[in-house]
Structure 1
């Protein structure tokens, strides 16, 4: 029987029941640490700035921006969870069974909330572009907040039931000390896959397909009438352009979400060993989606760039700064 060096164990004092560490070459360890740390920082800071901006500035209190706020909160939590992945580089969990269960539970919840928020964004744009006359009455800030609350609550309740055994008896499925794992029944995995990915993606594709068709139709209509509009008509044309521009920007967010999450779920759906490198790339891409979202806002939304400048220069502390016009 081959002897095991104590340095290879997560808990050397528990020689007979400790898990073994995952040994990486120093260069690989540094690369993993640098990559995960960079993604974590680049995810947390911009999303915190976005959360502060939407909460502080009253001009940003719109139904669409409240949805972006929900997405930013979930993205911030993703950046926070990445720090735990850094700790797991050697394959050992040192924070105990309760923290392990809560960490994985939060991971499940955030994943579902991100998908649910994307669905709400798609519905918001669908109503704004396809039914613009009814948008102000159908989509209000209060209704937006209620939908966001229901999205978070349903994700928490669903995964509390899904992970009930793991939450009631943390660590019951671990095979050795230093392992952080949860076990979900096969039917539960299928439900989670549908709840967090297949269902949201299906709804998003259907709604945005309709939005794209209507946007193209409206663009052609506006081009044909642009030379003969009255002042009132020009205002209406500008409003339509603004709604379509918002739809296109949020469409980019949805497409990025799809491209980043699809490989991860495809690996999970195939339920087979696809190799360490492929799984690792899909895993990193899944988390990297939360880093890209605020960068998309910074690229396309002038109000986000202005708000960040005000926050970083501490002008946000001035009296009346919450009423600053960022548009």
Structure 2
């Protein structure tokens, strides 16, 4: 209980600041535990599933080779996005940054690098799907295997150079001493607004492209149903809504996992943020991005029947191989 004198009213004013502090610490502890649990779970699922999907992708022949290249780029970026989090886990569980200033800058570069690669790879995959649906006859000539490889390689090279130059020179992160914890915190400068702008543009572009894909797919389904009805004189078949459901799942996942990060970038310069509160908020939004890694596996792999069958076949082959090795 804190007591203060108010000269204007001539009375003693009391405030329960101790209770507020205890409540804030309890909230911070609860959020910290939640972040730790989600981080460990997300890293485990991503490290387990993404390499398995990369191996499975090579065994499937029903998917366009160009689409497989873009899916592999997304999967690899999601995997790398989880592996760099080994640096963040040391800080998260130790309660302070133990790796020095240099690795603090390395952590900054790699965090923005792989997160950027993940969303850009998703954008490229979305563009590929849009071209395949809007121009199905011209797609093989527009998107060749050579062009798809050039697109992926140039994307990885460009994003790597930009992140290294923007974040590596005059590092955007320092080990902060202005807090009760020894943390690797970021500067609140123009770089936050730059990545905020890029994230908003890319996410909005993905939403617009998937809205167009949904409209084209529904239009084609109605045309096919009308042709069937005119040809056999019977009622048209029910329009397949699976593609629409998939699009809703994709956009919903983007909203859940990416919008908190976009909001955090927009509010990073607000003066009311305490260093430790800003750290917890940043870690929570980054954990949501980690979850996007294994959610992409469910959306783009496990919802596909051919890929599910390939996964089951691959696991069966590995199981038989292990049995034979131990039996002999």
* TM-score normalised by structure 1 residue count: 0.72
Alpha-carbon distance between aligned partners in 2 of 1:166 and 1:300, rounded to the nearest angstrom: 44
Q: Does 1:106 align with 2:145?
A: no
Give the gaps of 5 or more residues in structure 2. Answer: 1-24, 233-238, 322-328
Rg larger in structure: 2
Which residue of structure 2 lines up, in the alignment, with residue 67 of structure 1? 70
Q: Deviations over 1:281-319 (max 9, x none)?
A: 43432221112111223441122222322333345999x
Q: Retained in 1: the 8 A contact 2:105–2:168?
A: no
Alpha-carbon distance between aligned partners in 2 of 1:142 and 1:33, rounded to the nearest angstrom: 42
Give the gaps of 5 or more residues in structure 1. Answer: 1-21, 231-240, 319-327
Q: Retained in 2: the 8 A contact 1:297–1:304?
A: no
SS across alignment from 1:92: coil
Which residue of structure 2 lines up, in the alignment, with residue 8 of structure 1? none
Which residue of structure 2 lines up, in the alignment, with residue 285 of structure 1? 288
Following superposition, the deviation at residue 155 of structure 1 comes to 0.9
Which residue of structure 1 lines up, in the alignment, with residue 253 of structure 2? 256
Q: Retained in 2: the 8 A contact 1:101–1:166?
A: no
Q: Does 1:88 align with 2:91?
A: yes
Which residue of structure 2 lines up, in the alignment, with residue 201 of structure 1? 203
Query: Measured at CA, do residues 158 and 184 of structure 1 come closer, stay the same or move farther in structure 2, by a change above 3 Å?
Result: farther
Which residue of structure 1 lines up, in the alignment, with residue 16 of structure 2? none
Number of aligned residues: 281
1:185 to 182, 185, 189: 189
Q: Retained in 1: the 8 A contact 2:207–2:251?
A: no
Which residue of structure 1 lines up, in the alignment, with residue 135 of structure 2? 131
Q: Does 1:211 align with 2:213?
A: yes
Following superposition, the deviation at residue 178 of structure 1 comes to 4.6
Q: Deviations over 1:44-66 (max 9, x none)?
A: 11111111222455665611121
SS across alignment from 1:174: strand
* TM-score normalised by structure 2 residue count: 0.72
Q: Higher strand proportion, which one?
A: 2
2:303 to 300, 303, 307: 300
SS across alignment from 2:183: coil
Which residue of structure 2 lines up, in the alignment, with residue 309 of structure 1? 312
Query: Measured at CA, do residues 127 and 298 of structure 1 come closer, stay the same or move farther in structure 2, by a change above 3 Å?
Result: closer
Which residue of structure 2 lines up, in the alignment, with residue 325 of structure 1? none
Alpha-carbon distance between aligned partners in 2 of 1:202 and 1:30, rounded to the nearest angstrom: 32
Query: Measured at CA, do residues 311 and 250 of structure 1 come closer, stay the same or move farther in structure 2, by a change above 3 Å?
Result: farther
Alpha-carbon distance between aligned partners in 2 of 1:26 and 1:105, rounded to the nearest angstrom: 28
Which residue of structure 2 lines up, in the alignment, with residue 48 of structure 1? 51
